[in-house]
Amino acid sequence: METNHNILEIKDLSVSYTVANVVTHVLEKVNLTVPKGKSIGLVGESGCGKTTTMRAILGVLPSNANIESGEILFDGTDVLKMPYNQLQEFRQTGAGLIFQDPSSALNPVISIKKQFLTSLKYAHKDKDYSSAQLYDKAIEALNAVSLADPDRIMNSFPFQLSGGMRQRVCIAMTLAGEKAILLADEPGTALDVTIQDQILRLIKDLVETLDLSVIMVTHSLGVIRQVTTEVNVMYAGSIVEGGDTHQVFEHPSHPYTIALMECLPKLTGTGISEGIPGRIPDYDNPPAGCRFYPRCPYALDRCQFEVPGKTIVEDDHWVACFAAEEGKVCPK
Amino acid sequence: MLLFKSITRRLASSIVVLLGLTVVIFALMKAVPGDPARLALGPNAPEEVLEHYREVNHLNEPLPVQYFYWLSNAVQGDFGISSYTQRAVSQDIKDFAPATIELVIWAGIPPLFIALFLGVISAQHRNKWPDYLTRFLGYVFVATPTFVFAVLFVLIFGYWLPVMPTIGGRLSPQFAITPVTGLYILDALIGGQPAAAWDAFLHLLFPALALSLGKTMQEARITRSSMLQNAGKDYITMVTSQGVPRKIVNRQFLLKPSVIPTITVMGMDFASLFGNAFLVERIFNWPGLSSYGMNAILNKDSNAVIAVVLIIGMAFVGTSIVVDIVAMILDPRMRQARTR
């Protein structure tokens, strides 16, 4: 196997939503590459398009979303152009999504057992497992996410479980599917730190043992640092900086990334950080140039009208920012 | 076991509801102007006879005492004498109720399945012709009063295309059915008379259709909108994203949460038919409880009115218990809530 094989490549993906006849351009030319066996991070404020990107990969965007342009290549085949059967196969074995909201991702009137076994039945369709084997797999996965008494959980309905338990059930369900790519949309937001830690470690282990690839979506830079080898910083529907996690953390170059890092609470810090002034722009009328322009402390005149291209910062690290290109961004 | 517990609880609370209902309707009937003795005995009855009637029927006692006389008789199945038919009200009810029960069952249960089917079809073909068709028919059928359908059916199927027995009633005179349950189609089948069963069915079909068309389309629209609403929920997106085939998603994951509101609405529709069927019963000459109750009201026949209202109240309570049981079977959250 070639070393630089990319299992998933998103090219210039633009997605808009139509809400009450207003078109909102949420994703603007998103590019994302997932090398096989690597975990990459996608970080950004809530509302910046992370979840939309994840849903677009599996073809489960809401019905008012339109994919305007772009490609999503899985092993070289465009997911967006796949016929139904091939798309189903991709969903069954190609990529699995861990949903962000544990309270709504499980069907309220169907037992966990039925939901779990149905999902595993299709994920392992070609392996000819008996239902007892599938059940064992489910129990094993529930054990792996440290849920006590997995048999009881299997026979429960979602409303009988706590939020954290439901989220772990969802995580276990997706992990037990053993799909090629794991799309983890803020896993662990409802979990306490120790369990979250454990789950991140579990995902890390899976990457190593099963040669799994992961897209870790989060707004927590700490998680990114812990789990990923590459990071993409997303702002208002575009990726503004990306590259090797270590390099990006060492030399954050986009004003937004820098601001994000300053927001990180430090154990040695003295107070609460100031946050980033302003808010994500309206998507129905985004700024013509750089979308961060209205909030950017380093903004140049041209930022208002032109969209910055990629500038190489280091060998495996790029940024899309005119100020950085001109060397005018200086982190504290 | 959980079901059993919650059913007994519901039954106990429904007795209280029914008692309250009798108090209200009893008070209302007594508040209506007019002398019950005079109504029962006619304008020419002499004063001594009227006084004797009042004495025998406790009409000179205070209202609460009258109520308790009535109640102690009612629990033994004695609702007094109807001043209109001059028979025991309990006998009248025994004669008229099965006709309405049969009508309501046919106007309530098969249409539910038709409604679910149409709702699913129009949700799956959202904004395509099956959806537009059911929407259009929905508006027309919901807006049309049941008696208009009844008159149209008599005209179309009784006169232009004579498939329906025009005399009305429950059965053509050449057939005789030994009553077992009081439901003619069932009784005819039990008695081994398929021809009579078919005849009873033809008598029943058009009144049942007239009663149910509007409600069927309304229930279909409710099913459609709840399916579409649930189709956008995360838990459906989740199974879809797992590559579960669309058919299985729809049948096993989407339908179940979506039919619960329809079943609840249908339960209320079903119970209200008992009281609202009188126009259709009139037009089709259907000897039912609903038109009996209407006659009783028009003739200030208080014993009959109270009994009919009580029966309709019992039908409401009974159907709501059945609907709750079905909802509890479908929705595990309801089981929990009831037993807490």
Tokens of B271: 């119970």
CA A143-A144-A148 angle, 5° bins? 30
Burial group, residue B274, by CB count within 10 angstroms (0-12, 13-18, 19+): buried
A179-204 burial: b if 16+ Cβ within 10 Å, else e: bbbbbbbbbbebbeeebbebbbebbb
Whether A119 contacts chain B with CB within 8 A? yes
Contact B257 A108 (CB under 8 A): yes
How distant is the Cα of A153 from the closest Cα of chain B, in angstroms? 15
Please state whether beta strands A39-43 and A213-218 pair in parallel, antiparallel, or not at all (unpaired).
Answer: parallel
Name the closest residue on chain A to residue B244, using Cα atoms.
Answer: A122
Whether A89 contacts chain B with CB within 8 A? yes
Contacting A residues, span 166-185, partner chain B, CB-CB under 8 Å: 170, 177
Contact A92 B243 (CB under 8 A): yes
Whether A157 contacts chain B with CB within 8 A? yes
Q: Is residue A319 part of a domain?
A: yes
Q: Of B126, B236, B238, which to mutate for an interface test with A (greatest number of A Cβ within 10 Å)? A: B238
Quote the distance between the C-alpha of residue A47 and its chain's center.
13
Rounded distance, CA B251 to CA B264, Å?
A: 20
Whether A255 contacts chain B with CB within 8 A? no
Q: What is the pLDDT of residues A128-162, one digit of tens each?
A: 889 899 999 999 999 988 888 999 999 999 999 98
Ordered per-residue pLDDT tens for chain B, 340 residues: 667 787 888 888 888 999 999 899 888 888 888 787 887 788 888 888 888 888 888 888 888 999 999 899 988 988 888 888 889 999 999 989 999 999 999 998 899 999 999 999 999 898 899 999 999 999 999 999 989 999 999 899 888 888 877 777 888 888 888 888 888 888 888 888 888 999 999 999 999 999 999 999 999 999 999 999 999 899 999 999 999 999 999 989 999 999 988 888 888 888 888 878 888 998 898 988 988 999 998 888 888 998 999 998 888 888 888 888 888 888 888 776 544 4
The CATH code belonging to domain B89-339 is 1.10.3720.10
Q: Using a CB-CB distance cutoff of 8 angstroms, which residues of chain A are in contact with residue B233?
A: 104
> Chain B residues within 8 A (CB-CB) of chain A?
232-245, 248, 252-253, 256-257, 260, 330-333, 336
Q: What is the pLDDT of residues B81-137, one digit of tens each?
A: 888 888 999 999 998 999 999 999 999 889 999 999 999 999 989 889 999 999 999
pLDDT of amino acid A185: 87
The pTM (predicted TM-score) of the whole model is 0.80
pLDDT of amino acid A122: 92
Name the closest residue on chain A to residue B256, using Cα atoms.
Answer: A109
pLDDT of amino acid B177: 83
- Checking if the pLDDT of A317 tops 80, the result is yes
Contact B332 A106 (CB under 8 A): no
Q: Using a CB-CB distance cutoff of 8 angstroms, which residues of chain B are in contact with residue A86?
A: none
Contact A106 B235 (CB under 8 A): yes
How distant is the Cα of A89 from the closest Cα of chain B, in angstroms? 7
Q: Is residue A315 part of a domain?
A: yes
Q: Is residue A284 part of a domain?
A: yes
Q: Of A109, A122, A159, A167, which to mutate for an interface test with B (greatest number of B Cβ within 10 Å)? A: A109
Q: Of B124, B228, B230, B242, which to mutate for an interface test with A (greatest number of A Cβ within 10 Å)? A: B242
Contact B331 A92 (CB under 8 A): no
Q: Using a CB-CB distance cutoff of 8 angstroms, which residues of chain B are in contact with residue A57?
A: none
Q: Which residues pair with A238 in a beta bridge?
A: A235
Q: Is residue A45 part of a domain?
A: no
Contact B241 A90 (CB under 8 A): no
A240-263 burial: b if 16+ Cβ within 10 Å, else e: bbbbbbebbeeebbbbbbbbbbee
Contact B256 A159 (CB under 8 A): no
Whether A305 contacts chain B with CB within 8 A? no
Instruction: Write down the residue that tokens 């498939």 correspond to.
Output: B163
Whether A304 contacts chain B with CB within 8 A? no
Tokens of A150: 């997995």
Q: Using a CB-CB distance cutoff of 8 angstroms, which residues of chain A are in contact with residue B336?
A: 159-160
Q: Is residue A264 part of a domain?
A: yes
Q: What is the CA radius of gyration of chain B?
A: 24
Name the closest residue on chain A to residue B248, using Cα atoms.
Answer: A118
Q: How many CA atoms lie within 13 A of B233 on its CB side?
A: 22
- Checking if the pLDDT of A268 tops 70, the result is no
Laid out side by side, the sheet with A77-78 consists of A22-35, A6-19, A65-74, A77-78
Rounded distance, CA B224 to CA A28, Å?
A: 35
Q: Which amino acid is at B231?
A: A
Report which of residues B68 and A193 the model is more confident about: B68
Instruction: Write down the residue that tokens 């046919």 correspond to.
Output: B106
Nearest CB to A99; choose among B238, B256, B332 = B238
Q: Which residues pair with A319 in a beta bridge?
A: A241, A311
Instruction: Please give the helix or strand (H or E) that residue B118 lies within, else none.
Output: helix B89-124
Q: Which residues pair with A24 in a beta bridge?
A: A17
Rounded distance, CA B18 to CA B9, Å?
A: 15
Q: How confident is the model at residue A215 (pLDDT cuts 50, 70, 90)?
A: very high
Q: Using a CB-CB distance cutoff of 8 angstroms, which residues of chain B are in contact with residue A88?
A: 243, 245
Q: Is residue A265 part of a domain?
A: yes
Give the other-Cβ count within 10 Å of B319's Cβ.
21
- Checking if the pLDDT of A2 tops 50, the result is no
Q: Which domain holds residue A282?
A: 229-332
Asked if the ipTM is above 0.95, the reply is no
Q: Contact at 8 Å (CB) between A12 and A71?
A: yes
Contacting A residues, span 208-247, partner chain B, CB-CB under 8 Å: none
Whether A253 contacts chain B with CB within 8 A? no
How distant is the Cα of A201 from the closest Cα of chain B, in angstroms? 24
Q: Using a CB-CB distance cutoff of 8 angstroms, which residues of chain B are in contact with residue A123?
A: 242-243
How distant is the Cα of B333 from the closest Cα of chain A, in angstroms? 7
Q: What is the count of residue pairs from A and B with beta carbons less than 8 Å apart?
A: 80
Instruction: Write down the residue that tokens 């994203």 correspond to.
Output: B241
How distant is the Cα of B269 from the closest Cα of chain A, in angstroms? 25
Rounded distance, CA A51 to CA A101, Å?
A: 11
Mean pLDDT along residues A189-202 = 79
Task: Reduce the secondary structure of chain A to three states and give it as a string.
Answer: CCCCCEEEEEEEEEEEEEECCEEEEEEEEEEEEEECCCEEEEECCCCCCHHHHHHHHHCCCCCCEEEEEEEEEECCEEHHHCCHHHHHHHHHHHEEEECCCCCCCCCCCCCHHHHHHHHHHHHCHHHCCCHHHHHHHHHHHHHHCCCCCHHHHHCCCHHHCCHHHHHHHHHHHHHHCCCCEEEEECCCCCCCHHHHHHHHHHHHHHHHHHCCEEEEEECCHHHHHHHCCEEEEEECCEEEEEEEHHHHHHCCCCHHHHHHHHHCCCCCCCCCCCCCCCCCCCCCCCCCCCCCHHHCCCCCHHHHCCCCCCEEEECCEEECCHHHHCCCCCCC
Nearest CB to B241; choose among A91, A106, A109 = A91
Q: What percent of chain A has pLDDT over 70?
A: 94
Q: What is the pLDDT of residues A220-254, one digit of tens each?
A: 888 888 888 999 999 888 898 988 998 888 888 88
pLDDT of amino acid A262: 79
Name the closest residue on chain B to residue A173, using Cα atoms.
Answer: B242
- Phi and psi of A185, rounded to 5°? -90, 95
Nearest CB to A62; choose among B232, B248, B331 = B232
Q: Using a CB-CB distance cutoff of 8 angstroms, which residues of chain B are in contact with residue A114?
A: 252
- Phi and psi of A216, rounded to 5°? -100, 110
Domain ranges of chain B: 89-339
Rounded distance, CA A121 to CA B7, Å?
A: 38
Q: Which residues pair with A182 in a beta bridge?
A: A96, A214
Provide the 3-class DSSP secondary structure of residue B301: coil
